[in-house]
Structure 1
Amino acid sequence: MPDPPYEPPETRNWSIRDPQIVTLFGGAPSLAGVSVNDRSALGLSAVYRCVSLISGSIASLPLRTVVTNADGTTQRTASWLDDPAGPDGVTGFEWVEFLMVSLLLHGNAYFFQQRGGALQLLGLQPIPPQCVGVEVKNGRKLYRVQLDNGQTKQFTDREIVHIPGISLDGYTGVSPIQIAKNSLGQAIATERSATRLFQNGLLSSAIVTPEDTLTEDEATAVKEALDRKAGGETNAGGISVINRKLKVTPWSIDPESAQFLESRAFAVDEVSRWFGIPPHLLGQTEKQTSFGAGLSEQNRGYAKYTLEPWTRRIEARLTRLLPEGRKAEFDFRSLVSPDPEAEISLLIAQTQAGLLTNAEARAILNRPPLPDSQEQEQNNETQP
């Protein structure tokens, strides 16, 4: 498809209908009456843990460029993915982490393409997703990017790399935070209610019944005295003396009776479902995981069902930026490798079955090959 005709950079105001304006003014309100955006959502410990766990796990995986040989095996080769942001940009870990945080919170990740004098791709410069608006014209995506100077400049898909998350229109991803705004809004409202409960101290709410009739001014003075001596966290648990004959009927209840603890536990379960994280990784140790009993089995389940859908999406997009015959690939071996004893037993069985040579088995363990004479001797010993 030919490129659209060149259009000069433009400066425009944000439309009130633009979805990005929602984030700019604090996020969309939830049914709980709480506005939910990326920062308020990250204030929930479960959300922060999910985002940091997924982004950190994927950023810890080596991102490599591989080429497929004639015999079907793959071999690592050098490319700009070895330093994806360029020598003057962020580190490779930070680059992947930013990419994943953008996808997890905003549903989209954007990058400027940095090219050299021969138009070769040198790296991808991250763009904050809240600064980008997407339009589709003649079947091609155009990107309105708010620059540091406050102006909005238009770029084509030849200049910007766009990695969308789950999409409803095939062009842009949907923000998980906005889709889950009602669940997250309820969790935020619960946190705020618990904070107010403890902030107000022992007598967070009560009815005071005097034995004598009080004037309005006297009633106000009694209330202020009670607030001053019994309210607030500094007075919680203390003894208050008021020079009046008063009968105080407290309305305050302990958090467990108010089901705050149950509500917070339910909120953690909700967040774990939204992000696909087993509850036991969020501190819900009483919850069981269906990923398996052992640590290696749990890591395999976590990698397959939580991380791999994200990495496959990223690999497919980055592969399009590489020369033909090469592809981007995350290396999961460090995450899903079995325990050392089981791994060694497996390698011994594979060498005895002729599936691996001793040199190949040693390479898997990151050990140097033996001299040729010892290699031949060990190969003869391991043959059945």
Structure 2
Amino acid sequence: MGWRLWRRRRPAQAPSDLVSISDPALAEYFRIGVGNYSGVPVGEATALGLSAMWRAVNLVSGTIAMLPMPTVREVDGVVTRVRSVFDDPGGVVGMTPFEWKQTVIAHQMMHGAACLAHVYNVGGALAGLVPIHPGSVQVDPPPKQAASELSTPYQRTYTAFLQDGSRREFTDKTMTYCPALSLDGRRGVGLLQVAANSLGIAVAGDRAAGKMFSDGALMSGLATPEEGEQWGPDDAQHIKQDLDLKTAGWENASGIAVINRRIHLQKWQMTNEEAQFHSSRQFQIEEIARFTGVPPHLLMQTEKQTSWGTGVAEQNRGLSRYTLAHWTARLEQRLSRLLAAPRSVRFDYHEWERPTPEQEIDLLIKQTGKPILTVNEARARLGLPPIAGGDVLALPSPQPGQQPQEVPA
């Protein structure tokens, strides 16, 4: 009996093209999504595939991304702008400020949180914040504390499963977690969770519409023989060809169709069920508008509302006050905790809420005649260069017997 030498095999190396189990695209591939009444899985791709949802998320995140996000220093009521890492927080990974802000807000809207990993330079200073997909980050439960230790703050811990297959542990010192509306103080809830039923119904409606267009009866009329008429096997095909040839197409517009047959032609109309189906799809746009806080006219639904006029202009102002400001306030306060007092991060809504040129010029003219703005300050708001003597703030006209005074700006 011979003995065969046993050799230990080298462990096989993992292929370089493996996909991490935390990759959001993997969940979408297997159609893993949030359950809902319609039974249609809802994920990132299916939700953003709805035109109203794409428009709403893109509008809110894109509008906020266009707003300047300066770092300011406020001392005794005097606010000055200073430089900080938040002038270009995503530059360490090649993201522009617009891309960084839009990604962060989109993560908060869709998934209820934005996870920002800290990047430090060789000197130990914060050099940037890298967005990590919220679906790849697990918020670990807080450690159990005794009653005497409840007043002491604890560090949250986060486990991130990166796309390269690695696993990293973070704490509040190495990751900034920006939740949306939270019900437990730990994790935020996003649209993919709270709007799963409405989004699922909307996706099911899109699929039903596609099925109706591919297999449904989409025709303009129904031709049947008159009473007493008999059509042979090939008559129906010839009659249809004659009707299409003499009635269809732009070249037959305003023409007279002559058919050598006795035909009863009935116009095909939308049934009540189809009309209700169309109304239900319109209702889903209003549902998405309610969930996202975007007015319906900005989602291109203008059937019940005009897209012009002062009323819509006021709604745009309301959008910044009641929708955009909620998202920017969360981000401002979280990012400001990474700065030393009295520095803080603020979003500048001046350009977004700027009045029309005619209204602004009239307002500035009225303000320059009073101790509110100097001439150069008013010119700076209009993008004009300063002029000599324009930095003097004039006081109101003196009373009889008083000398005019000038106060430097």
Give the TM-score category using the shorter length. 0.7 to 0.9
Please give the alpha-carbon distance, in whole angstroms, between the structure 2 residues aligned to 1:276 and 1:289.
18
Equivalent residues of 2:71, 2:343 under 8 A apart: yes
Please give the alpha-carbon distance, in whole angstroms, between the structure 2 residues aligned to 1:317 and 1:48.
26
How many angstroms does 1:93 deviate by? 0.3
Q: Percent identity of the aligned residues?
A: 43
CA pair 345-153 structure 1, distance change in 2 beyond 3 A: same
How many angstroms does 1:76 deviate by? 1.1
How many angstroms does 1:170 deviate by? 0.2
- Provide the residue aligned with 1:177 in structure 2: 192
Pair 1:320-2:337 in alignment: yes
How many angstroms does 1:287 deviate by? 3.1
- Provide the residue aligned with 1:39 in structure 2: 45
Pair 1:53-2:59 in alignment: yes
Pair 1:113-2:130 in alignment: no
Render the CA deviation track for 1:216-256: whole Å, top value 9, x for unaligned.
xxxxxxxxxxxxxxxxxxxxx9xxxxxxxxxxxxx996697
SS at match of 1:35: coil
How many angstroms does 1:103 deviate by? 0.7
Pair 1:367-2:384 in alignment: yes
SS at match of 1:136: coil
- Provide the residue aligned with 1:221 in structure 2: none
Match of 2:96 among 91, 97, 102: 91
How many angstroms does 1:118 deviate by? 2.1
Match of 2:159 among 97, 122, 144: 144
Gaps of 5+ in 1: 1-12, 16-20, 205-236, 238-250
Pair 1:124-2:104 in alignment: no
Please give the alpha-carbon distance, in whole angstroms, between the structure 2 residues aligned to 1:136 and 1:289.
49
Equivalent residues of 2:61, 2:105 under 8 A apart: yes
Match of 2:212 among 197, 207, 212: 197
How many angstroms does 1:100 deviate by? 0.8
Q: Number of residue pairs matched?
A: 323
CA pair 318-190 structure 1, distance change in 2 beyond 3 A: same
CA pair 347-32 structure 1, distance change in 2 beyond 3 A: same
CA pair 197-296 structure 1, distance change in 2 beyond 3 A: closer
CA pair 380-308 structure 1, distance change in 2 beyond 3 A: closer
Please give the alpha-carbon distance, in whole angstroms, between the structure 2 residues aligned to 1:131 and 1:153.
11
CA pair 281-189 structure 1, distance change in 2 beyond 3 A: same
Q: Larger radius of gyration, structure 1 or 2? A: 2
Please give the alpha-carbon distance, in whole angstroms, between the structure 2 residues aligned to 1:296 and 1:383.
37
Render the CA deviation track for 1:186-238: whole Å, top value 9, x for unaligned.
1111111111011114389xxxxxxxxxxxxxxxxxxxxxxxxxxxxxxxx9x
Equivalent residues of 1:299, 1:335 under 8 A apart: no
- Provide the residue aligned with 1:278 in structure 2: 295
CA pair 134-199 structure 1, distance change in 2 beyond 3 A: same
- Deviates most, 360-369 or 289-298: 289-298
Please give the alpha-carbon distance, in whole angstroms, between the structure 2 residues aligned to 1:284 and 1:152.
45
Render the CA deviation track for 1:343-374: whole Å, top value 9, x for unaligned.
111111112122111122222223222113x6
Please give the alpha-carbon distance, in whole angstroms, between the structure 2 residues aligned to 1:26 and 1:292.
44
Equivalent residues of 2:370, 2:394 under 8 A apart: no
Render the CA deviation track for 1:161-208: whole Å, top value 9, x for unaligned.
11000001001101222111111111111111111011114389xxxx
SS at match of 2:160: strand
| Amino acid aligned to 1:188 | V
SS at match of 1:172: coil
How many angstroms does 1:34 deviate by? 0.8
Render the CA deviation track for 1:135-183: whole Å, top value 9, x for unaligned.
1233432111112332322221211111000001001101222111111
Pair 1:156-2:171 in alignment: yes
- Deviates most, 136-145 or 112-121: 136-145
SS at match of 1:62: coil
Gaps of 5+ in 2: 1-19, 144-153, 220-247, 249-267, 399-409
Equivalent residues of 2:31, 2:41 under 8 A apart: no
Equivalent residues of 1:62, 1:330 under 8 A apart: yes
| Amino acid aligned to 1:187 | A
| Amino acid aligned to 2:36 | S
How many angstroms does 1:274 deviate by? 0.3
CA pair 104-117 structure 1, distance change in 2 beyond 3 A: same
Please give the alpha-carbon distance, in whole angstroms, between the structure 1 residues aligned to 2:269 and 2:365.
66
Pair 1:167-2:182 in alignment: yes
Please give the alpha-carbon distance, in whole angstroms, between the structure 1 residues aligned to 2:67 and 2:271.
45
- Provide the residue aligned with 2:283 in structure 1: 266
How many angstroms does 1:87 deviate by? 4.5
How many angstroms does 1:295 deviate by? 5.5
Pair 1:346-2:363 in alignment: yes
| Amino acid aligned to 1:282 | L
TM-score under structure 1 normalisation? Answer: 0.76
CA pair 291-128 structure 1, distance change in 2 beyond 3 A: farther
TM-score under structure 2 normalisation? Answer: 0.72
Give me the CA root mean square deviation.
3.2
- Provide the residue aligned with 2:263 in structure 1: none
